[in-house]
Amino acid sequence: MRVLKFAILGLLYRQEYSGYDITSQFKKEIGQFWSAKHSQIYPELRKLVDEGLLHFRTQIQGEKLEKKMYTITEAGRKELLAWAISPEPLPETEKDAFMLKMYFIHTLSKEEAKTLFQDQLQQRQDKLVYLQQQYDDLIPVFGTENTADAMYFDHPHLGHYLVLTKAIAREQSYVVWLEQQMKLFL
């Protein structure tokens, strides 16, 4: 299944974007749970246009620069919605290079392993700070600190809220686990 197809359709369901704008979205909110490279996005856009799920208009920017602005078609909307309501099987195990290194930790000295843990802990704590800042920036959008009371289903930022709170929980859990395991190096 071409999941990138649905990520792009979902973005364009919200609003018109250029290929560059779509690529930028993968570095922002979507980047917390899905990644795609520039080299993947543009070929997928061409396929989606060929399949009749997107169309584009050419916009002149400056004197000569042309950029394509993509919008979703009715067929694209239908396909996106059909995908969105279909049951999702559990994903295969996510790749985590740090966990792979931990599986083979016996090949490292205690000091080398401690350094790896400290580095991973710092990266996870930094990411948690970044995610918390995004959350703090998002809360005023809902108009209250108590999001559960303010949330309503069709709010345009509900998806971002859900993904962000999951990402925060994931990183908090990872930090707790790393801190507990650091006791091995005392």
**Whole-angstrom Cα distance, residue 68 to residue 153?**
32
Q: Which residues contact 12 (CB under 8 A, 6 or more apart)?
A: 22, 54, 70, 71, 72, 76
User: Is the predicted pLDDT of residue 154 greater than 60, yes or no?
Assistant: yes
Using a pLDDT cut of 70, give the percent of the chain over it: 92
Q: Tell me the average pLDDT across 128-142.
A: 87
In which band, very low, low, confident or very high, does the pLDDT at 171 lie, cut at 50, 70 and 90? Answer: very high
pLDDT tens-digit map of 17-47: 999 999 999 888 788 788 888 899 999 999 9
The counts of H helices and E strands in the chain are: 8, 3
